[in-house]
Amino acid sequence: MTDLRLGILGYGLRGSLARVAHRPGAGSRVTAVADLDPAARADAADAFPGARISADHRKVVEDPDVDAVVVLTPDHTHAELTVEVLRAGKPVFVEKPLAIDVEACDAVLRAAYDTGTRLYVGHNMRHMPVVRLMRDIIARGEIGEVKTVWVRHFVGYGGDWYFKDWHAERRYTTGLLLQKAAHDIDVLHWLAGGWTRQVQALGDLMVYGANPHRRAPGEPKADDWYTEDGHWPPGTQRALNPVIDVEDVSLVNMRLDNGVLAAYQQCHFTPDYWRNYTVIGDAGRLENFGDGPGGVVRVWNTRRSTHRAEGDAEYAVPDVQDEGGHGGADPLLVDEFLRFVRDGGRTDTSPVAARMAVAAGARATESLRDGGAPREVPPLDPELVAYFDRGQVR
Ligand SMILES: NC(=O)c1ccc[n+]([C@@H]2O[C@H](COP(=O)([O-])OP(=O)(O)OC[C@H]3O[C@@H](n4cnc5c(N)ncnc54)[C@H](O)[C@@H]3O)[C@@H](O)[C@H]2O)c1
């Protein structure tokens, strides 16, 4: 098998995924990289010897020695760059979120349909062992038919990851209820078997907004911008982004098209970082404790009682090798993308699902900035839904 030649757009933090995809002699290798930042270009030259490195994404998109393109730039650039790659006729992997508003998502899906070029959206959480475990428990019928899903995301590293660079600004992300929550809204849709039709949200900027310790515009991030156990409590954070206009707490209620009611809550100043899912069906309930190796999912489904910590069944979260990051999900995500580029067919991640997650997050953000007024989530053109359901075959 000859290597698929990959072009990378954007080699920042998420360059980790490009390194996971660089498997010379084993099916794929990075042959070209574009990044606007000279330091990122120097890092890419070190990581991928012999690759063509440039500041202009068009050099990668038009490179005859690039078979497929991976878009790892900030969120607000995803739609435009992805459409450009699709129009060039090259299969494309775009990081989540697909775009920062509904209209841009729909334009990307339309371009994929019109050009017949393969589109893959990198929702790596669909490959996370804890998510697959919960989905399998539900599929086996252990909690009956899903009726309600409640997700709490404790974003303990939020101050480091989301309030020190572009993530903190609406113009680059719309808000963290879209940028960060797109993962969990997608998983919630997957577990519930439906799409959000109506949302209602409240949120606020409670902690980081009042912190005066900001970088000057243009000043690079501090060397110690991230620490595993420091920067606590959150008020000790320094060198935050010059502009902060996204929320650090948000709570959203959702009504899905299959009748399921769901809730998602996100907080960026907790001491701990993890996600807690509770899924309640008409014959039981499940909940995860910890979301990585060492974590468990417990099921209560045999009888009524007062609180029973141990549950009726307990399943360990599988401990897959985590060489590439995100609980072992990233190598599996790359495997699926490479298989899709070569052979086409159906995938566990889905461009339609990616659009639905952005649509719910975007309308929820509108709701929370409008006093919690309910918002309807616009449906996607059924022609596009059918095309992607068929595995991108016309
Ligand atoms: N799926 C996940 O778990 C996950 C995790 C982290 C980040 N992400 C997503 O990955 C993307 C990248 O995030 P990051 O943290 O690496 O950001 P980053 O800011 O560290 O890196 C982005 C890079 O893109 C470059 N860039 C910007 N515009 C460009 C353009 N037009 N052409 C070429 N290069 C350009 C920047 O110079 C920078 O080096 C974001 O969309 C983010 O939401 C996903």
- Interval between CA 309 and ligand 1 midpoint (Å): 41
Please check whether residues 132 and 270 belong to one and the same domain.
yes
pLDDT at position 78, please? 98
Instruction: Report yes or no: 143 and 299 within 8 Å, Cβ to Cβ.
Output: yes
pLDDT at position 296, please? 98
Q: Omega into 374 within 30° of 0, i.e. cis?
A: no
- Interval between CA 317 and ligand 1 midpoint (Å): 29
Please check whether residues 245 and 105 belong to one and the same domain.
no
pLDDT at position 294, please? 94
For residue 265, is it within any domain?
A: yes
pLDDT at position 321, please? 65
Ranges of beta strands (E only) in 35-126 are 52-54, 68-71, 92-95, 119-122
> For 369-381, what is the mean pLDDT?
98
Q: What is the CATH number of the domain that holds 119?
A: 3.40.50.720
**Which residue's alpha carbon is nearest to atom 39 within ligand 1?**
12
pLDDT at position 328, please? 80
pLDDT at position 394, please? 86
pLDDT at position 95, please? 98
Residue from 35, 73, 185 whose mutation best tests the ligand 1 pocket (most atoms within 8 A of CB): 73
- Interval between CA 206 and ligand 1 midpoint (Å): 26
For residue 370, is it within any domain?
A: no
For residue 350, is it within any domain?
A: no
Q: What is the CATH number of the domain that holds 139?
A: 3.30.360.10
For residue 80, is it within any domain?
A: yes
State the CB neighbour count (10 A cutoff) for residue 36.
14
Please check whether residues 84 and 222 belong to one and the same domain.
no
Among the residue ranges 88-102, 317-331, 346-360, the one predicted with the least confidence is: 317-331
15: its two tokens = 């360059």
> For 365-380, what is the mean pLDDT?
98
Residue range 183-200, pLDDT digits in tens: 999 999 999 999 999 999
pTM of the model: 0.97
> For 133-138, what is the mean pLDDT?
98
Per-residue pLDDT band at 159 (split at 50, 70, 90):
very high
Please check whether residues 15 and 75 belong to one and the same domain.
yes
Please check whether residues 108 and 130 belong to one and the same domain.
no
pLDDT at position 151, please? 98
Q: Write the DSSP assignment of 4-20 as a string of letters.
A: EEEEEE--STTHHHHHH
The pLDDT mean for the chain works out to 97
pLDDT at position 1, please? 81
- Interval between CA 202 and ligand 1 midpoint (Å): 28
Please check whether residues 220 and 90 belong to one and the same domain.
no
For residue 35, is it within any domain?
A: yes
- Which residues' Cβ are closer than 6 Å to ligand 1? 9-14, 34-37, 40, 57, 72-75, 77, 95-96, 122, 124, 165, 326
Could you tell me the residue range of the domain that residue 112 belongs to? Answer: 4-124+329-344+380-389
Q: How many CA atoms lie within 13 A of 120 on its CB side?
A: 28
Please check whether residues 292 and 258 belong to one and the same domain.
yes
Please check whether residues 130 and 216 belong to one and the same domain.
yes
pLDDT at position 319, please? 87
Q: Write the DSSP assignment of 349-394 as a string of letters.
A: S-HHHHHHHHHHHHHHHHHHTTTT--EEPPPPPHHHHHHHHTTS--
Please check whether residues 147 and 199 belong to one and the same domain.
yes
Please check whether residues 247 and 110 belong to one and the same domain.
no
302: its two tokens = 């045999």
> For 55-80, what is the mean pLDDT?
98
Please check whether residues 75 and 102 belong to one and the same domain.
yes
Per-residue pLDDT band at 323 (split at 50, 70, 90):
low
Q: Which residues pair with 28 in a beta bridge?
A: 4, 23
Which atom of ligand 1 sits closest to the CA of residue 34? Answer: 33
> For 61-86, what is the mean pLDDT?
98
> For 230-242, what is the mean pLDDT?
97
Please check whether residues 101 and 196 belong to one and the same domain.
no
- Interval between CA 69 and ligand 1 midpoint (Å): 14
**Which residue's alpha carbon is nearest to atom 7 within ligand 1?**
14
For residue 355, is it within any domain?
A: no
Q: How many domains does the chain have?
A: 2
